[in-house]
Structure 1
Amino acid sequence: MKKSILIFLTVLLSHWTMAQEFTVMTFNIYHGENPFPKSSDTTKINFPQLINLIIQKQPEVIALQEVDSMTGRSEALFGERIAMMSRLSRETGYRAYFAKAMDYDGGGYGEGLLMKKRLENNTQLLPYPAGGEPRAVAWSKIELKSEDELYFGGTHFCHEYEENRLAQLQALISYADSLDRPAFWAGDLNFDPESAVYDSIPDYWKDAGREAGNEQPTYTGEEGKRIDYIFYDSRYFELVNYQVLEVDFSDHYPVLATLRLINRKPVPEKDSP
């Protein structure tokens, strides 16, 4: 009898642990266009390759950067103005959210999230004190198979001014630290690990690539810099796996990490009436 109970508890614990492991992906999709088309390609659209990648890898959540919504640029590519996140949602079966950072070409431009199970979404507009393009974070409250609730953010920091990147990082971390559930975030941050902005990140926020010992470049320009990241709060998560996929249909590579939830934030008690 004791042996049967032990086996049951072992199986239950194993299932509980696996249920709390999940994979996150971040990818700058170059506004849906393949910057390296082959002579045999009949279209410059990279959505077929993107959709196949998502279906093959099946991440729990995905952060996408350089996303258009109803722009003239999307019309030039697709033959009509499209809401890219809605199109990707239809083709993959994921729930989608678009966070507009700025008006662009008759529509919107910003961040996109794809999630298997979401509970709520919101957009955090980021500061840009040095000027330049507005930026944002797309946030979603998600639910894992274990019914644990987490927050996931996807962003794209300023490519022009370090002052903006530092202010944007500080705003994102301040918001993430204020949430009532464990949080993780990802995106194209436009700084490399040798930058002062990177050095300002609090120690408990871990860079999945560095923790895995994998400094592989994520961007094909500028001598192959690593500027795309997945960050997780090490007080609540641990890293299981990390990889960079060398695809040829964007100027960035997709980055994937598998995380494991190891702690939960205490749920604040509601005040008695």
Structure 2
Amino acid sequence: MDKFFLSCLFCLFFGLANAQEIKIITFNIYHGENPAKLGDSTLHLLADFLILNQPEVVALQEVDSMTLRSEKIYGKKLNFMSKIGRETGYKNYFGKAMAFDEGGYGEGLLAKKGSAYHTLQLPNPAGGEPRSIAWVKAELKTLQEFYFGGTHLCHEFTENRIAQVDSIFSYAETLDKPVVIAGDFNFSPDSLEYSKIPSHWKEAGAVAGNSQNTYGTAEEGARIDYIWYDSRKFELVEYRVMTEITFSDHFPVWAILRMKKPEE
């Protein structure tokens, strides 16, 4: 019994010591339809991809919920996040940015374990489509918690994107846990919007020195999808753009972060 108890303790402490790395994916899924073959569902491909890679948290953009567009693709109006959650075993959340096609359109979050899900609407001073950010308080195997936000910023107006960046990162500073923010930001690294983000927030691709396109093709496109983390709380372990995944007009962006110890 004593040996068994000590063995359990060893496994517990070993697991806690090695469970602080956080796998993250952000992916603009083109509302679950293959842009190269319109009418074809990509939900099963997305489910297989997530099951294979096992991220702790996922931010999805361009998510439909109970729209007529989803009915044309799937044969019925579909709650996409609920369906992908059932297919993968992840907890799921849909953050509605706007009403669309008799349903909703916005952000999707998946988490292995999460709570305090909520959606915040983002400012649109220049008009255009409503935008939002969805939030979850995710919990790791170590019982450590962090906030994860998924968003999709305005594709039309710089003024909107600047206001949205300010709103998101100002809110993040009020949270009582470490924060990671991911999504399709619709601006490039040389943009004014990018430069407005406070310096202690690091963007995983820039830290990794990886300038690979995240939208379009590997050869022609843009780098507009990002994973941002508070460098006071996290450090980057790995980053890549998954150009082998071709069932959207964006590529999934992957990062592994390590939560820093309090004294670091």
Unaligned 5+ runs, structure 2: 1-8
SS at match of 1:77: helix
Distance apart, 1:12 and its partner CA = 7.6
Cα distance in 1 for partners of 2:18, 2:257 equals: 10
Deviation by residue 1:200-259 (Cα, 9 ceiling, x = unmatched): 111110000010111100001693100000000000000000111111100000001000
| Letter of the structure 2 residue corresponding to residue 255 of structure 1 | V
| Letter of the structure 2 residue corresponding to residue 180 of structure 1 | D
Cα distance in 1 for partners of 2:43, 2:49 equals: 10
Aligned to 1:24: 24
Question: Residues 172-251 of structure 1: matches in 2 within 5 Å?
Answer: 172-220=168-216, 223-246=220-243, 247-251=245-249
Q: Does residue 98 of the first structure (1) align with residue 94 of the second (2)?
A: yes
SS at match of 2:249: coil
Are the structure 2 counterparts of residues 11 and 94 from structure 1 closer, same or farther at C-alpha, using a change threshold of 3 Å? closer
Aligned to 1:270: none
Are the structure 2 counterparts of residues 197 and 73 from structure 1 closer, same or farther at C-alpha, using a change threshold of 3 Å? same
Between the aligned residues of both structures, percent identity stands at: 56
Q: Is the 8 A contact 1:103 1:109 kept in 2?
A: yes
SS at match of 2:232: coil
Aligned to 1:107: 103
Cα distance in 1 for partners of 2:211, 2:13 equals: 33
TM-score (norm 2): 0.92
Cα distance in 1 for partners of 2:262, 2:71 equals: 45
Cα distance in 2 for partners of 1:240, 1:167 equals: 31
Aligned pairs, how many? 254
Cα distance in 1 for partners of 2:182, 2:261 equals: 20
Cα distance in 1 for partners of 2:132, 2:262 equals: 27
Question: Residues 154-169 of structure 1: matches in 2 within 5 Å?
Answer: 154-169=150-165
Cα distance in 2 for partners of 1:130, 1:264 equals: 41
Q: Is the 8 A contact 2:16 2:141 kept in 1?
A: no
Distance apart, 1:48 and its partner CA = 1.4
| Letter of the structure 2 residue corresponding to residue 223 of structure 1 | E
Aligned to 1:260: 258
Q: Is the 8 A contact 1:74 1:82 kept in 2?
A: yes
1:59 to 55, 78, 82: 55
CA RMSD of aligned residues (A): 2.0
Deviation by residue 1:30-72 (Cα, 9 ceiling, x = unmatched): 000001139xxxx611111111100000000000000000000
Aligned to 1:5: none
Unaligned 5+ runs, structure 1: 1-8, 266-273
Q: Is the 8 A contact 1:136 1:156 kept in 2?
A: yes
Q: Is the 8 A contact 1:181 1:264 kept in 2?
A: no
Which structure 1 residue ranges, 4+ long, deviate > 6 Å from structure 2? 9-13
SS at match of 1:111: strand
Cα distance in 1 for partners of 2:208, 2:14 equals: 23
Distance apart, 1:11 and its partner CA = 8.4
